[in-house]
A and B are shown apart, each in its own frame.
Chain A
C-alpha cells in the first residue's frame, strides 16, 4: 500500500525464518514494514516514540523498538516477531505461562512483553522477582498491574530451565 516513490530503496531481511525482499521508502519504520509489508500484525504500535515497548521485536537476537528503527536499518537482519514464537499451533512455554497466569487482559502490550521476556530469560534463566520487574520496566501494560506477568515469567523460567513441565491447562 506504500506510495510509489523515486526515493525508494531495496531491503532484504529474514522475518520469522522467511526471506523478505521489498522496495520501501527510506523513512518507513521497521514496525510499519513488518506490519504492512510482511503481515506481522502482532507487532503493535502503542506510542511510536520508543517508550511503551509494544512494538518490541528481536533483531539479530536482541530486542529492538521497531517503531524507532527504520526498515532500511534492518537490512540483512534476522527479525523475530511474536508470530515467530509459537511452534505451529504449539504455544511457546512463555506464552503458555502467560495464559495460565492471566498475564494479559486486552493483549495489546503482550507481544512486546513476550519478546522482552524471551531476551531476559536468555540472559538470566533464573531471575528474581525484582530482576523480572526491572527487565520488563521498559514495557507499559495498562491492564494487569504487572503482578500476573511477573508470576508468568517466574513460572516460565522454571519450565525453560527444565525444572517444571509445561502446564497447558
Chain B
C-alpha cells in the first residue's frame, strides 16, 4: 500500500533529522532561481559566448549513406575568403571513440567510431572534415567548396535489411550487422507454459525513429589557455566529465589539460548525454590553431546527423490463464541503432534496457527475451528520454488489451489481476521493485475519468479511452549499470559543500541541470538540512575543474542520486557547525540545532557568520582536532536496483472519420515520484514528457529512403507538436517515499514520455474496437485510422 502524507512534511533518510529543525523548503514550489536571467534574455548559452579572435567551424558531411571515401580535396576550401583552416581525418590524427561492454564476443561486438570519417562513411551527414573560418558564413562557403569522391556501396537502411542473409556489412567485424545479441532469463519450462495456456496473444510492433530534439542544437566553444596550459571546452553536454575523458584521449592530452564547462543549455533529453564527434574535432582544431573555435550545429544537421533514437521492432507472445493472469512472456526485440555505438552507453543501451525491464509493472512468472542491436547506415543513436520504456510499456499495455479482448474481460480488470501489489517485489527479471502505488494510480486514474463523465461518452468510431500503467526505474546506481556490464559504470554522485564567511553556501553536484531546475531544487535540499533560506545556497555544476568527478544528468538520476549526495554533504557540514558552536558556547554538539541561519544550544545561539568567522579568521579558537574552514565532501550511490517511480495515464481521443485525425480530448496523469522536492517542477516534467510521448505516438518520425537519404531534414517534415496539438493534462499526485534516497524522492524526468504512446495508442484502438482493426505501430498513421473507419 502506498503511504500518503502531505508533501509539506519533510522526509529524510538521515536518521539524525530529528536533531535539528527543517525549514521545510523541500516540498514547496518556491520561485525558480534560474528564471530571472532566462526571462530577461540574459542566460548564457554556448552560442552567446564570444572570445577574442574566435573562429567559426562547420563540417563537410557525407552525402552518401554508405561509401568508401576515394578522396577528400580541401584545396578549394582553403582558398575561400575567410577560411583559416580545413582538416580531414588524416590532418588531425585523432584517436577513435570506442564504447565497450564487458560481454563475450557472441553478445557484443565492439566497433570504433572515428572522430572524422577516415576510409568509409556510414550515414548521410557523417562528418568528414572541419572547416574553420573567421565568420560562420565563410565557414559555410568553405564547406560548399569541398570535393569528396565516393565509391558508393549498397546501404543497409532497415533492421530487417541488416539481418537479412547476405546483407552488406556496415562494420565488417559485425556479422549479420549485429552489435549486441543477448538472450536472457529463459525461465525453465516456459515453452510448456505456452503450450498449456488457455490463451496466447501476440504483439508485433515497430516504433519510429525519433529525434530527442533539444531546441538548442549542439555546440561548443574551445580554446587553448596558455596560462593554465589547458584546452578549455565550453560545450552543450549532459556529461562534462565523460567529454573530458574522451577528448583528452582523442587529442592526446592529460585529463588535467582539459577543462570542460557547460553554459546554460537549451534542453538535452539524452541527445547530449553521449560524447559527440563534432565537439572533439572543434576542440582539436582550436588546439592546433591556438585560437578559439566555435561550432554551432545547424538544424538540418541536428535533424539528420545528430544522435537519434527509438527505432525498435518487437515480436512478443504472452500466455494467459482463462481468468486473465499472465503466465509467461516471450519477446524478441530488435533495435536499429544506426551506424555507431555511442559513448559511454554503447549500442546496447536500448536492447539491454528493453530486455531487462519489459515485464514492467506486472507479475510475470516466466520470461524469455532476446534483445539485439543492429547497425545500419543511418545516423547513430543515443539514449532518449525514457530509453526503450516507451516502447516496451506500449508492448505490455497492448498485451493486456489483447488478452482482455481474447478473454472477453475488462482490460483494466486484466491489469489489476496482474499488477504488482506486494513490495518489495523481485521479478523473474531479477530486478527488485521498491514500493510504489501501481494499483492505486490505476484506480485513481480510472475514477477521475469516470467522475468527469468520459466513460459515458465512449462511442464506436469516434471517442475512445486508453490507459497505460507503468513504472520508471530511476536512481540507477553503479549496481544497476554494472548489471548491464558496461565497461564504464556510471552511478554514484559526489558533492563538495562549503560555507563562506557570510554564511552563504556553495555546493557542487556532478549532475547538470539543463531545464530541470536543479539550481532551485538542489538548493532546497541544502536549505532544509542547514536551516537557511534556499537563496543562500549556490549550486556549482558543469565544470570539470571545480567538480572532482560527476556522471552528469540522465536516466532521472539527478534528484535521486545527486540530491542525496548534496543532502549528505549538507549533513556533514551541519555536523561541523554544531561541533564548533558547541565548543564555543559550551554544550553537547548532539543537542545543537541548526535553524534560522545559525546554531542554537541551550545556553545561547551563534549565527553561521559568527561560526564562519572563527573557522576562517580566528581558527585558534576552534576545538582541538578541528581544522580551519567549513567544508565537507560526501558521495551517494544506490547499491541495488534503483527506485521505481510509477504512474497511470488515461487518455480520451476523438477520431475524425473524414481525415483519420486524432484529437486528444482529455489527458489524466496520476503519478508517484515519492517525495516531490518541488511539485510544480515535477508537474512541468510530467507535462513536458507527455508532450514528447504524444509526439512519438502521433507526429514525429525520421524516415530514410532506399538509398539511405534522410527524409526529414527540416521542421517542415519533422513535425514537432505545438500548443495547438498538445492538450492540457490533469495531474494527480500519489506519494510513496523512497526508503533509500536522502529525501524520499524518486526520479521524475522521464515518466511522461514513457506512458504517453501506450495510452494514446490504446485510446485510438478503443475507438476502433468495432472495426476489428488494431493499430500497434507508432507513429500511428492517420491513413490507417481513416481506412479502418472507412471500411466500417
Contacts and interface: CB of A to CB of B under 8 A. Distances in A.
Nearest to B268: A106
Contact of B216 (A28, A44, A102, A111): A44
Nearest to B692: A142
B523 to A, nearest CB: 16
Interface string B209-245: 0000111110000000000000000000000000000
Contact of A49 (B133, B265, B715, B752): B715
A107 B39 contact: yes
B42 A106 contact: no
Given A86-B40, A99-B36, A109-B215, A3 B723 contact: no
Given A49-B299, A51-B715, A106 B36 contact: no
Given A48-B299, A102-B684, A106-B515, A41 B215 contact: no
B118 interface: no
B680 interface: yes
A9 to B, nearest CB: 15
Contacts of B515: 105-107, 143
Nearest to B513: A106
A27 interface: yes
The 9 closest A-B pairs by CB, nearest first: A42-B41, A108-B266, A107-B38, A106-B515, A145-B687, A82-B41, A145-B691, A51-B715, A105-B515
19 contacts: A1-B54, A28-B137, A41-B44, A42-B42, A45-B296, A99-B36, A105-B515, A107-B43, A108-B216, A110-B38, A136-B723, A142-B269, A142-B688, A143-B515, A144-B688, A144-B691, A145-B726, A147-B726, A148-B687
Interface of B: 29, 31-32, 34-36, 38-45, 47-48, 50, 54, 81-82, 133-138, 213-217, 264-267, 269, 296, 298-299, 514-517, 680-681, 683-684, 687-692, 714-716, 720, 722-724, 726, 728-729, 752
Given A49-B299, A108-B216, A145-B691, A137 B39 contact: no
Interface string A38-53: 0011111111110110
A147 B728 contact: yes
Contacts of B214: 106, 108, 142
A149 interface: yes
Contact of A108 (B32, B267, B690, B726): B267
Instruction: Specify the main secondary structure of chain B where it touches its partner.
Output: loop
Contact of A48 (B34, B267, B298, B752): B298
Nearest to A82: B41
Given A85-B40, A91-B40, A145-B690, A25 B137 contact: yes
Contacts of A49: 299, 714-716
A158 interface: no
Nearest to A92: B39
Contacts of B136: 32
A100 interface: yes
A18 interface: no
A133 B722 CA distance: 8
B41 A142 contact: no
A43 B45 CA distance: 11
A91 B723 contact: no
A58 interface: no
A137 B725 CA distance: 9
Contacts of B215: 44, 46, 52, 54, 106, 108-109, 140-143
Centre residue among B44, B298, B714, B723 by max chain A CB count within 10 A:
B723
Contacts of B133: 3
B135 A149 contact: no
B517 A105 contact: yes
B684 A105 contact: yes
Contacts of A82: 39-41
A72 interface: no
Nearest to B141: A3
Contacts of A132: 723
B654 to A, nearest CB: 15
A99 B31 contact: yes
B514 A106 contact: yes
A164 interface: no
A132 B135 CA distance: 39
A44 B726 CA distance: 23
A99 B39 contact: yes
A108 B163 CA distance: 41
A134 interface: yes
Given A85-B40, A98-B35, 17 more contacts: A3-B138, A41-B48, A42-B42, A44-B216, A45-B47, A46-B299, A99-B32, A99-B36, A99-B39, A102-B32, A104-B39, A142-B269, A143-B688, A145-B684, A147-B687, A147-B726, A147-B729
Contacts of B266: 44, 46, 106-109
Nearest to B752: A145
Given A44-B45, A109-B215, A146 B726 contact: yes
A107 B134 CA distance: 29
A142 B267 contact: yes
A36 B136 CA distance: 11
A47 B714 contact: yes
A69 interface: no
Nearest to B730: A147
B715 to A, nearest CB: 4
A2 interface: yes
Contacts of B44: 41
A104 B38 contact: yes
B267 A139 contact: no
A85 B134 CA distance: 33
